[in-house]
Amino acid sequence: MNNTKFETIKTVRNGHEVIFEPIIKKCTYYHPDNQKNCKNCNGSRRYVDGYYMIYEVNGKKCGFIVDTLK
């Protein structure tokens, strides 16, 4: 994932509020040509590895880990 924004995303799907919390990890990718930025983190040394998708139905919170957002 090439996303360097680490924001929580809130949206409404099927009448329920869904929250996407980013899973942020340290970047360990080493680019052989040090003159270019890393393709994963774009030089920030952190990247989004996926998202925790959290929603609430009938007072109970449920969650999943998702790779990408559509």
Q: Tell me the per-residue pLDDT of 41-56, one tens digit each, with 9 for 90 and over.
A: 777 788 888 899 998 8
The count of domains in the chain is 1
Asked, for residue 48, whether it belongs to a domain, the answer is yes
Asked, for residue 30, whether it belongs to a domain, the answer is yes
Asked, for residue 44, whether it belongs to a domain, the answer is yes
Q: Which residues of 37-61 are buried (b: 16+ CB within 10 A; e: fewer)?
A: ebebbeeeeebbbbbebbbeeeeee
Asked, for residue 27, whether it belongs to a domain, the answer is yes
Asked, for residue 43, whether it belongs to a domain, the answer is yes
Residue-number span of the structural domain to which 32 is assigned: 9-66
Q: What percent of the chain has pLDDT over 90?
A: 9
pLDDT band at 27 (very low <50, low <70, confident <90, very high): confident
Asked, for residue 25, whether it belongs to a domain, the answer is yes
